[in-house]
């Protein structure tokens, strides 16, 4: 049985939100997904073992499924812009020290990673799951998790090589 859900929320919600945002989900949507994930966890509290690694893995799985369901649904939604609300947006060319520019470059590089590498990298570096937890959650060996993390780092370094020394 699941114990103190408040403690889990305080420790896991920020990491889960960061994981979703780093994966390209808008912050507001990520917050909604995290809330829904904890709600679903709460509804199943009687059947869940109170082991932190399992709870964390279950929450990440729920959040990933909710995110995927949301994108599947939105793929078929057509958005029409409001008439007269478009504003001219300047295209500033930020220098390399600009935080927004660097964040955009990193998000683009993460988005270019193959899905399995991106998912593993984000689980490890953003959600701070252990290699063992990632292996258990994704159903692959720990060795494969390590290889995916290494390959993701290589691809990110190559994609962001022009930023070295800034």
- Looking at the structure, tell me whether residues 113 and 56 fall in a common domain: no
Q: Return the pLDDT at 89.
A: 44
Q: Return the pLDDT at 120.
A: 94
Assess if residue 87 is contained within a domain: no
Assess if residue 67 is contained within a domain: yes
Single pTM value for the model: 0.59
Assess if residue 137 is contained within a domain: yes
Q: What are phi and psi of 142, to 5 degrees?
A: -65, -35
Q: Each residue's pLDDT tens digit in the chain (166 positions)?
A: 556 778 888 888 998 998 888 888 888 899 999 999 999 888 888 887 777 677 888 888 899 899 888 877 766 555 544 444 444 444 444 444 467 788 888 889 999 999 999 999 999 988 888 999 999 988 999 999 999 999 999 999 999 888 876 5
Assess if residue 24 is contained within a domain: yes
The span from the CA of 80 to the CA of 60, in Å, is 33
Q: 29 lies in which domain range?
A: 5-74
- Looking at the structure, tell me whether residues 103 and 68 fall in a common domain: no
The span from the CA of 25 to the CA of 118, in Å, is 13
CB 142 within 8 A of CB 131: yes
Q: Return the pLDDT at 96.
A: 43
The span from the CA of 127 to the CA of 49, in Å, is 20
- Looking at the structure, tell me whether residues 143 and 108 fall in a common domain: yes
CB 38 within 8 A of CB 13: yes
Assess if residue 85 is contained within a domain: no
Assess if residue 120 is contained within a domain: yes
Q: What is the CATH number of the domain that holds 127?
A: 1.10.10.10
- Looking at the structure, tell me whether residues 10 and 65 fall in a common domain: yes
Q: Return the pLDDT at 140.
A: 94
Q: Which of 20, 40, 74 is the endpoint of a domain?
A: 74
Q: How many domains does the chain have?
A: 2
DSSP state of 7: H
Assess if residue 38 is contained within a domain: yes
Assess if residue 16 is contained within a domain: yes
């Amino acid at each position: 049985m699941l114990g103190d859900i408040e403690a889990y929320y305080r420790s896991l919600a920020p990491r889960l939100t960061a994981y979703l945002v780093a994966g390209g989900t808008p912050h507001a949507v990520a917050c909604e997904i995290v809330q829904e994930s904890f709600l679903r966890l709460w509804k199943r509290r009687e059947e869940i073992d109170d082991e932190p690694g399992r709870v964390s893995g279950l929450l990440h799985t729920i959040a990933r499924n909710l995110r995927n369901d949301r994108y599947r649904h939105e793929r078929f939604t057509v958005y029409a812009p409001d008439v007269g609300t478009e504003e001219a947006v300047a295209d500033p060319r930020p220098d390399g020290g600009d935080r927004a520019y660097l964040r955009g470059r990193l998000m683009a590089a993460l988005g270019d990673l193959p899905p399995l590498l991106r998912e593993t990298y984000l689980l490890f570096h953003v959600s701070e799951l252990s290699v063992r937890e990632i292996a258990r959650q994704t159903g692959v060996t720990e060795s494969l998790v390590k290889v995916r993390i290494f390959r993701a780092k290589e691809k990110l370094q190559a994609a962001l090589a022009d930023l070295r020394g800034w």
